[in-house]
Amino acid sequence: MILPKERPTAIIFDWDNTLIDSWTTIHQALSATFTAYDLTPWALDETRVRVQKSMRDSFPALFGDRWEEAGEHFYEQYDAIHIKTLTPLADVETTLGGLVEQGIYLAVVSNKKGHYLRKEATHLGWNKFFGQIVGALDADQDKPAVEPVTMALNGSGIETGTHVWFAGDSNIDMECAKNASCVPVLVREKEPEPFEFKDHPPSVHVSGCLALSKLIDTL
């Protein structure tokens, strides 16, 4: 890993399992959808590995021509539980507030549908931290394409580049960072496995948002 030498002007965060713990919620909604369409549900660990792409980029391979119908079923299940199961990860709110106070522009790019993403941010009172909150279907293409990153920086006067960090917990986040010429920052407790990110290696690995903030303080 090649650590950045300068503080970021902007940080774009992934949402699910970077800022909030949503694996149980996603897994429950996905399992119910699989069962409804006579598919064998994944184990939770498999869900953690396989859920990265947006619905429009992943459901056609799972549900074929009925993927849009299956997507509606998934979101019916998800809508019923996602607010009451919404669980922020440790130290996130304090960290976001501190970064904003330092003048760092913050945004979110997620493959969760934008409506649900913004509803969750508003429920937590976190929408005040972000210049833009961009979800699936908001841009012409979803993560790892560049378009949602460009949208996330709209109005900030900041363009993509190495002064922008992209922080997330999965390979698709690292790929998105690379595609947008941003610094890829892996945010999760688990150390990367050998060759796990061989195509899109992170420049930085931190265990969580507080560790990310402490790293920035050293620059």
Distance of CA 102 to the CA centre of its chain: 22
Residue 53: the pLDDT is 82
Residue 155: the pLDDT is 96
Q: How far is residue 75's CA from residue 124's CA, in Å, rounded to a whole number?
A: 20
Mean pLDDT, consecutive 10-residue stretches, the chain (219 aa), reads 88 97 89 94 89 86 93 90 93 97 98 94 97 97 97 97 97 97 96 92 96 95
CATH number belonging to the domain at 10-21+89-217, selected among 1.10.3730.10, 3.40.462.20, 3.40.50.1000, 3.20.20.140: 3.40.50.1000
Instruction: Give domain limits for the chain.
Output: 10-21+89-217, 23-81
Instruction: Please state the length of the chain.
Output: 219
Residue with the two structure tokens 């949503």: 22
Return the axis-axis angle of helices 67-81 and 55-63, rounded to nearest 10°: 120
Residues 6+ apart with CB under 8 A from 80: none
Residue 49: the pLDDT is 83
